[in-house]
Amino acid sequence: MSTTVIRIRGLTRTFRLSTGPVHAVRGIDLTARRGEILGFLGPNGAGKTTTLRMLTTLLPPSGGEAEIAGHDLVRDPAGVRRRIGYVAQSGGLDLTCTGREELVTQGRLHRLDRATARDRAEELAGDLGLTDLLDRPAGTLSGGQRRRLEIALGLVNHPEVLFLDEPTTGLDPGSRAELWQLVGDVRDRHGTTVFLTTHYLDEADALADRVVVVDAGTVVAEGTPTELKRRHAGDPTASLQDAFLAITGRGAPEAPLAV
Amino acid sequence: MNLLTDTGVIFGRALRATLRSRTQLAFAMLQPVLFLALFGPLLTELDLGAGGSSWQVLVPGVLVQLTLLGGSFVGIGLLMDRNTGVLDRIRATPVSPLAPLLGRTLRDVVQLLAQSVVLVLLGLALGLRAPLGGVLLGLLLVGLLAAALSALSHGLAMRVRTVPEFAAVANTAAMPLMLLSGLLLPMTLAPGWLDGASRAVPLRYTVDAVREAFLGHYANGTVAAGVAVTVALAGLGLFAGALAFRRQPA
Ligand SMILES: Nc1ncnc2c1ncn2[C@@H]1O[C@H](COP(=O)(O)OP(=O)(O)OP(=O)(O)O)[C@@H](O)[C@H]1O
Ligand SMILES: [Mg+2]
């Protein structure tokens, strides 16, 4: 049995607009193993969200193929959906709904019966420290609490692969560290593969086993954070920031952390 | 089977959202209530050329107007769900692709029927007299029309990006439909050219049939045409909505 849970070959996506085609993703190849945390890095507009939307079956690819948790993305999107969790860049919370209602609904959409869905909501709330917040409308939660609820929604079906699009954008340093801890815990406890995009290099450095850097819709570098630093900044003790800038050739070395 | 369960789950979610926004519901009712209470009494002495009392003409018109104005804009809720990522979250689950459309449309029909019952009761208090069977047939037609408009509105919400864009299209479509279908006063009062133009508007057939039903006339050409047009409209609306809901091209 192979432990490769994500296998992507030549994935492309072109948006056809009246102003002309936009080649958002020009050809992405990558694989990820079971239990791996993969950091998907790249400047604004690199094609990260577009790639994630394709991998979560929300956007049909223009070309290429991908297999996720043993299911072909194009031929068996329903099989893929059963085995993934997705937290969009925009979050996906209805601020008037309580966490409990959303968690139960999400469970029902994953075809759990009512009682199981209710139990699963309680269980996740316990795991993610949301128990006391479960009956509050999402709009009354702090940014960090909302993020945890969003991730809980992505975990309802015990996914094999969890896709997180910029999970820590807008969080304070404390909440970010908490979220890293949470993502690490999920992986350690359930062997979940986590595919996360981020602009924060320290985040990739702290959390990711492997980093894939994309720019203009293609993979421009790939490796463990240490490898990338050695290869591109010439020094394993350099910051990933230096490596990133060397790879994408953008910005000044003293650019802020969020590229 | 899954489609039914999934539709039920989405329906429940949407219905709970509606029940949470009761003030909004009340405001949606305000306009038709005012029409009945403040405009209705003006008509009681007039001959509207339809036979029966003016209430049998006005109440059906107000019902269809509420359906049109309410139904055209239901898509805004869906557009919000699209922009906040709620719809993506739902569609990244194994849910049947059509359930988000059908569940919401069903909620809209149920809401509209509940509002219609309130309006009919208010009509009764003001002087409306109509046979129960006719009222039920009228509600059936209004429910079908609500399904058509709601599905179309949701389809539109899948094809535009912003609320202003949505509102521009929905308003542009709803206003002429409202004026051309003889909702407040029957088109039998209109000059020939306007009456002719209104025959191109499907809603006219619905409202005429509801009026006939309220008069207790069931087996005539007007009712048959109204039922046929409304059923066709519901089928078409759901079909167009379903097309727009298939996975997005861009
Ligand atoms: N629906 C769309 N229609 C047209 N172009 C699009 C669409 N979605 C994305 N694009 C374009 O595709 C490119 C990649 O966008 P994408 O959102 O994938 O980038 P990203 O790496 O997620 O950026 P960010 O870091 O800002 O979130 C951009 O040039 C964007 O303008
Ligand atoms: Mg993005």
Domain identity same for A31 and A54: yes
Question: Which of A129, A158, A187 lies at the terminal end of a domain, its last residue?
Answer: A158
Q: What is the pTM of this model?
A: 0.90
Domain identity same for A10 and A128: no
A168 within some domain: no
Domain identity same for A50 and A97: no
Interface of B to A at Cβ within 8 Å reads 2, 5-6, 9, 12-13, 16-17, 20-21, 81, 83-86, 88-95, 247-250
Q: What is the mean predicted confidence (pLDDT) over A148-154?
A: 96
Domain identity same for A184 and A64: yes
CATH of the domain at A222: 3.40.50.300
Please check the confidence at residue B250 and state whether its pLDDT lies above 70: no
Determine the pLDDT at residue B175.
87
Domain identity same for A185 and A58: yes
Ligand 1: which residue has its CA nearest to atom 31?
A45
Determine the pLDDT at residue A230.
81
The two three-digit tokens of residue A93, written as one number? 């919370």
A180 within some domain: yes
How much of chain B, in percent, has pLDDT values that exceed 90? Answer: 70
**Å from B151 to nearest chain A CA?**
21
Domain identity same for A78 and A17: yes
Domain identity same for A79 and A98: no
Please check the confidence at residue A251 and state whether its pLDDT lies above 60: no
Closest CA to A92 of A160, A159, A163: A163
Domain identity same for A75 and A95: no
Q: What are the backbone angles phi and psi of residue B200, rounded to the nearest 5°? A: -85, -5
Residue in A17, A60, A110 nearest the CB of B93: A110
Determine the pLDDT at residue B249.
44
Question: Which of A134, A158, A182 lies at the terminal end of a domain, its last residue?
Answer: A158
Q: What is the mean predicted confidence (pLDDT) over A49-73?
A: 95
What is the atom index within ligand 1 of the atom nearest the CA of A42?
21
- A93/B contact by beta carbon, under 8 A: yes
Ligand 1: which residue has its CA nearest to atom 27?
A44
Domain identity same for A29 and A66: yes
Q: What is the mean predicted confidence (pLDDT) over A238-254?
A: 64
Measured between CA atoms, the residue of chain B closest to residue A162 is B92
Please check the confidence at residue B110 and state whether its pLDDT lies above 60: yes
Determine the pLDDT at residue A250.
63
Domain identity same for A99 and A150: yes
Element (DSSP H or E) covering residue B108: helix B99-126
Measured between CA atoms, the residue of chain B closest to residue A117 is B9
A255 within some domain: no
Domain identity same for A124 and A227: no
What is the atom index within ligand 1 of the atom nearest the CA of A22?
5
Q: What is the ipTM of this complex?
A: 0.88
A56 within some domain: yes
Determine the pLDDT at residue A252.
43
Please check the confidence at residue B47 and state whether its pLDDT lies above 90: no
How many structural domains are present in chain A? 2
Closest CA to B61 of B190, B208, B184: B184
Q: What is the mean predicted confidence (pLDDT) over A182-204?
A: 91
Determine the pLDDT at residue A149.
96
Determine the pLDDT at residue B109.
97
Nearest ligand to the CA atom of A44: 1
Angstrom distance (rounded) from CA A69 to CA A89: 22
Identify which of A17, A49, A196, A214 to mutate to test ligand 1's pocket (most ligand atoms within 8 A of the CB): A49
A259 within some domain: no
State the pLDDT confidence band at A164, using cuts at 50, 70 and 90. Answer: very high
Please check the confidence at residue A253 and state whether its pLDDT lies above 50: no
Domain identity same for A231 and A187: yes
| pLDDT higher at B242 or A204 | B242
A164 within some domain: no
For B191-210, the pLDDT digits (tens) are 889 988 899 899 999 999 99
Q: Pocket around ligand 1: residues whose beta carbon is below 6 Å from it?
A: A 15, 17, 22, 24, 42, 44-50, 89; B 250
Closest CA to B204 of B221, B179, B224, B168: B179
The two three-digit tokens of residue B105, written as one number? 């449309």
State the residue range of the domain holding A194: 1-83+174-250
What is the atom index within ligand 1 of the atom nearest the CA of A51?
18
Identify which of A40, A50, A166 to mutate to test ligand 1's pocket (most ligand atoms within 8 A of the CB): A50
For B74-92, the pLDDT digits (tens) are 999 999 999 999 999 999 9
The two three-digit tokens of residue A110, written as one number? 């994953």
